Amino acid sequence: MGEKDILSLADASELDNHINNLMECKLLSEEDVEALCKKCKEILETEPNVTPVSCPVTVVGDVHGQYHDVMELFKIAGTAPNTNFLFLGDYVDRGYYSVETVQIVLALKARYPKRVTIIRGNHESRQITQVYGFYDECLRKYGTANVWKMVTDLFDFLPLAAIVENQLFCPHAGLSPGLNTISNIDQLSRFEEVPHEGPMCDLLWSDPDERPGWGLSPRGAGYTFGQDVSEQFTHTNGLKFIMRAHQLVSDGYCWVHEGSVVTVFSAPNYCYRCG
């Protein structure tokens, strides 16, 4: 079944218009954001906590409001529906174009729900976005917090991870001592603000570490986990490796834990620090 069969022709045409405008960095109206969030909620609430993804797929790490980097990515990789995408979260905060960035990602998800997969990062949170820029950007660009509220309400619907071809486990950040299997993750209740602690929090905050076992995270949320933990999780779940985002890696990707974990990062000029 094609995407046009899933959407009415009127919906598809309207979303195509939104996508064309957003590709030119033109904001959606508040009314259009409300309708877009409603459409995305309808799609996302049917998706499991760990959403299955087929190859070929282009995996995108943190973009943090760096709209022009996302546009450059589309130039290189192509865009939906010709290219399938898996976005690993952290669409907003820090960059100057969080509003436009999250809107283009949501519009592509709504238009091509089977070709675009989006999961939740630790910045897809009411609390974090009030500190790191998205809230203030919404106020500046719309004059009210209405768009911020609509979008952060939608964030509660985002899946917690994806699994590519039943072989690559893709959370935003990492693992949790409370979650040994993919089915454990699928049993979590995700439709809420990111908790300060617990398994859902860990998936969005934890980091791989050189030290074995579990450790307290210097971030103040989640854990550090060693190669032994990564290898046990991949073995238990019949996986090849774990692909995650959440950390700045200068080359765009970095393998650790002897090939058990790869970090991808997609904001190359992160916070405009690199020239």
Confidence (pLDDT) at 267: 66
Average pLDDT over residues 71-88: 95
Helix, strand or coil for residue 61? Answer: coil
CA distance 47 to 62: 21
Confidence (pLDDT) at 248: 86
Q: Could you tell me the residue range of the domain that residue 56 belongs to?
A: 3-272
Specify the residue for token string 């949170």: 125
DSSP tag of 26:
P
Whether the predicted pLDDT of 67 surpasses 90: yes
Name every residue whose Cβ is closer than 8 Å to that of residue 173 and which is 6 or more positions away in sequence.
Answer: 121, 122, 202, 203, 204, 205, 206, 207, 222, 244, 245, 246
The tens digit of pLDDT for each residue in 112-126 reads: 999 999 999 999 999
Torsion sign, CA atoms 98, 105, 245, 135: positive
Rounded CA Rg of the chain: 18
Average pLDDT over residues 83-103: 97
CA distance 105 to 116: 9
Q: What is the CATH number of the domain that holds 92?
A: 3.60.21.10
Q: pTM of this prediction?
A: 0.94
Number of domains in the chain: 1
The tens digit of pLDDT for each residue in 154-212 reads: 999 999 999 999 999 999 999 999 999 999 999 999 999 999 999 999 999 999 999 99
The tens digit of pLDDT for each residue in 12-44 reads: 999 999 999 999 999 999 999 999 999 999 999
As annotated, the active-site residues are: 123
Average pLDDT over residues 247-255: 85
Name every residue whose Cβ is closer than 8 Å to that of residue 135 and which is 6 or more positions away in sequence.
Answer: 129, 145, 148
Q: How confident is the model at residue 6 (pLDDT cuts 50, 70, 90)?
A: low
